[in-house]
Structure 1
């Protein structure tokens, strides 16, 4: 089992994260996903048919991917765009950070 990477120290970033405007939406989706995961656990506990469990896992995975895409979109539209406009060197750093985030999201 892999562990989540340690949070990055972005103390030089603006105090407000790029997803701040959509935080409630992201949290609502994540709470729904949390419920889906609990449902999958119940399905396994109740010995439900394999393909039914797999279908729910696929739906949960897709829901997490949608949250990730939303966060990436927020990052580009806020963090990256603001950095590029403020300072070219800082913008280059944000482009590199974006590439790393995409690699993690796409598992490349």
Structure 2
């Protein structure tokens, strides 16, 4: 599965955002910040990771549906397993 450059750029932005949020969570824990603040930031990082994964899978599904060379069924099954692993 090859992602187009626009999709890949969006996924990379989301992953970089999550990377920054995770770094922030580590710093918050090291600084002894309030538990609610840490969990809120951790939740935001988790959502960013989930959205990146779903974007990759959505683009893969789009490509599979457009595929007519006979491998679409196998690709769809693989994408379904990936989707369920994120759910």
Scaled to the shorter chain, the TM-score interval is 0.7 to 0.9
Query: Which residue in 1 is equivalent to 2:43?
Result: 58
Q: Is there any run of 5+ residues in structure 1 with no aligned partner, and where?
A: 1-12
Where does structure 1 differ by over 6 angstroms across 4 or more consecutive aligned residues?
none
Q: Distance in 2 between matches of 1:32 and 1:95?
A: 29
Q: Pairwise mapping of residues 18-29 of structure 1 onto structure 2 (< 5 A)?
A: 18-29=3-14
Say what the alpha-carbon RMSD is for the aligned residues.
Answer: 1.6
Query: Which residue in 2 is equivalent to 1:96?
Result: 77
Q: Is there any run of 5+ residues in structure 2 with no aligned partner, and where?
A: none
Higher relative contact order (CA 8 A, sep 6+): 2
Residues 48-57 or 93-102, more deviating: 93-102
Higher helix proportion, which one? 2
Q: Distance in 2 between matches of 1:19 and 1:37?
A: 27
Q: Distance in 1 between matches of 2:51 and 2:28?
A: 23
